[in-house]
Amino acid sequence: MIQAFILSLGQLTDRPILGVLVKSLLVTLLLFAALGVGMWFVLDWLAESAAHWLGTADRGGVFASIVTVALLILAWWLLFRAIAVAVVGVFADDVVAAVELRHYPAAHAQARAVPLARSVAMGLGSGMRAIGINLLLSPVYLMLLITGVGTALLFFLVNSWLLGRDLGDMVAARHMPATDLAAWRRITRPRRFTLGAAGTGMLLVPVLNLVAPVLGAAMATHMFHRGRSA
């Protein structure tokens, strides 16, 4: 895994991978900006309505701005992983192809490019799974707060599992039909979990988290092909 990380980091400035990094960051930031604007208008309307009903001075703009900033900070912490990985999933085929072309040319020659529709479906599925499962587990997260470390540990384990699945699928989609994915996931579960743990760890580190999804896709490519040749 360390070697996969070093190789992936060294290829981060390759034009196709750098292009995916820039596009994914822009789309992610635009989505958060749109979320912020939407929240501001909703909160401003709620504040104006409350001021009118209570007969007090309208300070909705100030209220909306303060609460929007607070909610965006919270949303960035809670949703960045899901949204960033989902966005990268849409463009991941370019990353995987670039890694294969340099390190696994024979596999690259036999690969099938993933159609955009399937890439979008995989990206959306990744984001929805991450948000949905973490929401379902939120009562457990809250109960484990009393342990001090239980919430963080469970969150890390769950998201490592989810991320390992998503990153692995980005590569496998180029080399096997969808009907074979379930069997492949069972066989590679330990390696994919290790990959997901590495990616989740990177997502927790400031600055590194911005490139973590792209690095994860590149590392998944090395994991996939080295696992097949082992």
Answer whether 17's CB lies under 8 Å from 93's CB: no
Q: Which pLDDT value is given to residue 220?
A: 93
- Say if residue 60's pLDDT is above 60: no
Across 106-125, average pLDDT: 87
As a whole number of angstroms, the distance between CA 200 and CA 217 comes to 12
Task: Using alpha carbons, select from 40, 32, 45, 38 the residue that is nearest to residue 67.
Answer: 40
As a whole number of angstroms, the distance between CA 134 and CA 132 comes to 6
Q: How large is the angle between the packed helices 15-54 and 60-103, nearest 10 degrees?
A: 160
Q: Which pLDDT value is given to residue 124?
A: 86
As a whole number of angstroms, the distance between CA 121 and CA 22 comes to 21
Q: Which pLDDT value is given to residue 117?
A: 86
What's the pTM value of the predicted model, to 2 decimals?
0.81
For 127-147, what is each residue's pLDDT tens digit? 888 888 988 988 898 888 888
Task: Using alpha carbons, select from 175, 168, 156 the residue that is nearest to residue 192.
Answer: 168
For 13-55, what is each residue's pLDDT tens digit? 888 899 988 988 888 888 878 877 777 777 777 766 766 665 5
Q: Which pLDDT value is given to residue 67?
A: 66
Under DSSP, the state recorded for 85 is H
For 145-159, what is each residue's pLDDT tens digit? 888 788 889 989 999
